[in-house]
Structure 1
Amino acid sequence: MNEFLEFFSFADANVRFVTIGSILLASSSAVVGCFSLLRKRALVGDAVAHAVLPGVCLAFILSGTKNPFILLLGAFITGWFSLVVIDFITARTRIKEDTAIGLVLSVFFGIGILLLTSIQHSGNAAQSGLDKFLFGKAASLVGEDLIVFSVVAVLLLVATIVFYKELMLLCFDQAYARTIGFPVRALELLLTTLTVFAVVVGIQAVGVVLMAAMLITPAAAARFWTEKLPVMLLIAAVMGAFSGLAGAFVSYTAPSMPTGPWIVLIISLIAILSFAFAPGRGWVSRIIRQRRNRSRILDENILKLLYQVGELKENFTDAQSITELMQRRHLPQNSILKGLKKLQCEGFVSKQQNGWLLTEEGRIRGRRVVRLHRLWELYLTQYLELPSDHVHEDAETIEHIITPELEEKLMEELNYPALDPHQSKIPL
């Protein structure tokens, strides 16, 4: 508890630098990463992250100092150049973008490792700590780094706000953007530059190896929670900021734990939870939805079956046994019994001594399913000219997903028909 209070009091200057720097890095990177994700260029961030290492090494070799501005300038140049090379390879050769990214990533990173090894064996005392760009060291952030982080974060956010409409159109419909006169190539270069800025600044905290996760993981997690781009950007930024704060806190409470990897682990955990539990898109919600759909389809099939039996006998007051239902439709007995009990609880069927009987509500619902089935069969035979003996299976599926609006449209399109292709009456 004392450590918690000490950390969030921000009395220690180093805690302030590390925490604020991590939050700025993670949130701004997440915003830029959303556009890369939506453009299906998620691996570009990984390529840039690995491509900045030779720039850092060359800047150190040429300057002989570890001036942060010079090192970041070198990183920016090689990072930006790597994207130019990727675009050139993709445009001028038959090599696809993912292959070009793999080539550039491995070549640039290999050159960076060679240069870094050469520097470490050069005997230059100033090279100490240069390897932090490889694995990151957020705990070593100082006031000057925080100023750089703040400037870049503001730059990224302002550019996103100012060019939001253009970047959104670039992500979702590049051809239309070009048609209405947007400078697509300039926008691509802008997004490229923003990505490089985010990577160049972030490598100080998490290193070239983990920087791609800071770009893409919050964006991927946020994508599971919304369909709207502004909300996605906000959620990604909040997730990134939280992971930065939590990573700094873990590193503070356990000094032997590095901040950068913990930031990545926390945002990865958030992403896993999002993949699993996000409403609508998450694995769990998808499984629940699938089970509900299967249950609803079984219910409707049973109601339809009971209605068809009553229709065939021209008598809806006679109860039907499970054995008779199984003879008319091949369904497992346990499934039918389970479905009937559920429908009984919902008031759609009633249990009689000699079987099961539709209630008034059940008859209405069963009649609608039969109507939808026969309407769709008629539609397929009239408009797609399919043989009447080829439409039953398709109608068995579609009948469960036709909305009331589509039902009304079908009725109008078919001129409120009385009979289906098999000359069975379409109930109204």
Structure 2
Amino acid sequence: MRIRIEPVSRVFLSAALVHFLIGTTLGALMASNVTWWDSISPYHAELNPFGWLTFLIYGMTYAVLQLFASLRVPWKGLPWIHFVVAEAGVLLIIFGYLAQRPLWIHWGWVCQTSAGILFLIAVMSAVVSSRRSRKLLPPEAISPETPVHVSELDDAPPFTGFYFNLEKGEVRDTDRVAKRGTSLALIVLIVATLFATMDGILHGGDPWLSSKRIRILLFDGWIAGTVLAVSLHLLPRYRPSVAVPSKIAHLAQSIWFIGILLAGILPPAFWLQQLGTRVIGLSFAVIALLYLRRIPSALRQTQPPVKLAWTIAWAFAFILGTCQTLGLRPLSLPAIHLLFLGWITTLVYGVGYVFFPLLLHRFPAFARMASFQVLLSTVGAVLLIIGMVGAESEHAGLFRYALAIGGSSAMAGFFLFALQWSIKRKPRA
């Protein structure tokens, strides 16, 4: 059984993996030698949030909307233009730093701003088009409540797949909350791009990384908000009988959005802005507890690496949310790496072992090493975060060893994950 997904999703995903291969290598170099931080950090800070996670969000969102909401962009060329503009933004900024050309960097963030707007236009056009015609799926589309297993698509190891086009009321309720979360995250992205445009015109430089408000809007708003929404779409698809309580999910989503408004729009020195960062952390902690309670039942039928990755990812989310509620600065290095490396990247591993075969039409080359890969990445993330917490203490030398080992382990874990998909296994005749 083969599911047709628009190829632009695979292109975004492949580009994201390439970007992160470079970004995580640079991160490991920075962790092993702190004297390289100033020279390498601009590239690392560009590739990981914009080249890796943002590209991943673009590709996954296109695929998730098609699979779970029957939404397709009516003009086929728009997502490809979106990809070209987004990739141009990354390349212009990277080579602008390398060649010391501020004008290239300027046009790079203009492209990144434009990419966000193009993405919004693409998603909204798909929504409008779906309202005009409810028959967008091809005749061979999956029937309601039919489970799709990776093992049915080929001779690959039996990683349990998703259920598509569910008709259960509870799932429809959570889907509505998830769609609202996607829309809110897109609104946050547009607000961030408008702020970045105004700051760039008035002050020059790179507003994406120099403005605290814009970074909060991007990191805790756009990226984390989209991950929360996509996760709410995905979890019930592993086991339809286990639904996420939509009222609690809606409440947590509302708390998150209020926190984003306070932290991302008000001046950084204002006390309500600082309260907003704590409110965001509270929403993360509440949502994480919700998932941690549901994962044992929802992922009972999945393979151990998938369940392991989901559990570890939301444990990181709970730690981040709790610490941020208690006052951890959301733009501190420990908080950023709890968000990106601990929570979101580990969740990508859990989703990837089931979802990537549908996108890439290939299977993990070393499926038996999946649990080891997840654990190796987790150990790396933990050591890296511990090293960052203690880097300024009186025992900084010891913590720098943790930084070096953690960075190398996280890099090795991602390299192994990327290797799973770079070696294509041919199906048997």
Q: TM-score range by the shorter chain?
A: under 0.3
Larger radius of gyration: 1
TM-score by length of 2: 0.25
